[in-house]
């Protein structure tokens, strides 16, 4: 998936309220094909449980979490 399309999809997930913050570094993202766990480690690295992240190292869910945590940091 091109980066722009992934950011678009991430924004869509955020606007639809499909990113749920469980704790400081843990999120549930309700994707189109299932609900995934997104976790951020101490170094700020993101990990997602979806197959796309396992094979490509990035996905719309983890991007959505990055956007969300970036926003909360600026507030």
* Residue 56 C-beta: closest distance to Zn ion, Å: 9
Closest CA to 12 of 64, 73, 72: 64
6 counts as binding Zn ion under rule CB under 5 A: no
Contact pattern from residue 32 through residue 61 relative to Zn ion, giving x for each residue in contact according to CB under 5 A and a dash for the rest: ----x-----------x-x--x-----x-x
DSSP state of 32: T
* Residue 62 C-beta: closest distance to Zn ion, Å: 5
Which residues make Cβ contacts (< 8 Å) with residue 26, sequence separation at least 6? 37, 38, 39, 40
Nearer to Zn ion, 52 or 74 (CB): 52
Q: What is the CA radius of gyration of the chain?
A: 11
68 counts as binding Zn ion under rule CB under 5 A: no
């Amino acid at each position: 998936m091109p980066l722009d399309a992934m950011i678009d999809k991430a924004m869509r997930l955020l606007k639809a309220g499909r990113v749920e913050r469980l704790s400081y570094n843990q999120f549930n993202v309700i994707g189109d094909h299932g609900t995934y766990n997104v976790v951020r480690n101490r170094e700020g690295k993101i990990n997602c449980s979806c197959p796309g992240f396992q094979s490509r190292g990035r996905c719309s869910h983890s991007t959505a979490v990055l956007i969300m945590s970036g926003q909360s940091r600026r507030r």
